[in-house]
Amino acid sequence: MQSEASLKIAIVDDSAVRAAILEEGLREAGHRHVIRVEGTENLLERIYAIDPDVILIDLENPSRDVLEQMFRVSRAVKRPIAMFVDQSDSASIAAAVDAGVSSYIVDGLKKDRIKHILDISISRFNAFSRISTELEQTKSALTERKVIDRAKGILMKRKGLSEDQAYALLRTSAQNEKKKIAEIAQSIITAAELLK
């Protein structure tokens, strides 16, 4: 019997970073044959050429519909592919869709043999989306910090305040107006621009 590690896995993902994260996860789990497929041109032919046992694809990828064609028994299809679904296990489908990944396997491949591949995909996709969210938050925190610094500078210059006093004034105004400090800071900058 073919060992788990020898399964050939193709990753179709528009996000190169996410594909790399997933590939790394699969390699850590001992999978040696992981191939990333990029772009949309002639996708089916390229996948046939790889002849994978398992295909993982992100749900934001319109090419998902192209893979559905491989279910069909026709001249073009060498090995029919089935979506990895278990009629009894709707929770796992929901988890995969929620994470944004879908998987297809060669017909006849025992589903329990690839269950852990799907689990890795789900956790890596979730990790990626966590990282993206964090990155977004860090970016916006950085922007906010810059805005607040600029507003502090304006207050210090115009009102002759110390840095601490300027920040305290921003914070009090924010509390009074039930707004974020960054919002108050932004309106100070806008006002200063207008009054230039």
Partner 1 sequence: MTARNKLRIGFIPLVDAAALIVAVDRGFAAEKRLEVELVREVSWSNVRDKLNIGMFDAAHLLAPVAIASSLGFGHVKVPIIAPFNLGLNGNAITVTNALQKALQDKAEGDLADPKVSARALAAIVAERKRRGEPPLNFGMTFPFSTHNYQLRFWMASARIDPDEDVQMIVLPPPFMVESIKSGHVDAFCVGAPWNSVAVDLGIAHILHFVSEILQRAAEKVLAVRAPWAKDNPDALYALVYAHAKAAAFIEDERNRDEVCSILSAPDRLNVAPEIIRRTLDGRLKVSPDGKYRESDRYLMIGRRGAARPDRAQASWLYAQMVRWGQAPLSKELLLSARETFRPDIYDEVLGGGDLPPEGEPKDGVGAFDGPEFDALDLEKHLAPWKLHRR
Question: Which positions lie near partner 1, rule CB under 8 A?
Answer: 40-42, 44, 59-69, 71-76, 83, 85, 87, 90, 93-94, 97-98, 102
Token match 């200063």: residue? 192
The CB-of-67 to partner 1 minimum distance in angstroms stands at 8
One-letter identity of residue 16: A
The CB-of-84 to partner 1 minimum distance in angstroms stands at 10
Nearer Cβ to partner 1 (72/158) = 72
The CB-of-63 to partner 1 minimum distance in angstroms stands at 7
Nearer Cβ to partner 1 (44/161) = 44
Closest of 162, 153, 161 to residue 188, by C-alpha: 153
Nearer Cβ to partner 1 (20/93) = 93
d(CA 113, CA 9): 13
Nearer Cβ to partner 1 (30/108) = 108
Phi, psi of 82 (to 5 degrees): -120, 150
Phi, psi of 104 (to 5 degrees): -125, 140
Nearer Cβ to partner 1 (84/167) = 84
d(CA 171, CA 66): 55
d(CA 126, CA 74): 36
- Distances in Å between the Cα of 148 and the Cα atoms of 132, 138, 194 are 24, 15, 18
The CB-of-107 to partner 1 minimum distance in angstroms stands at 13
One-letter identity of residue 189: I
The CB-of-104 to partner 1 minimum distance in angstroms stands at 10
Number of H helices, E strands in the chain: 7, 5
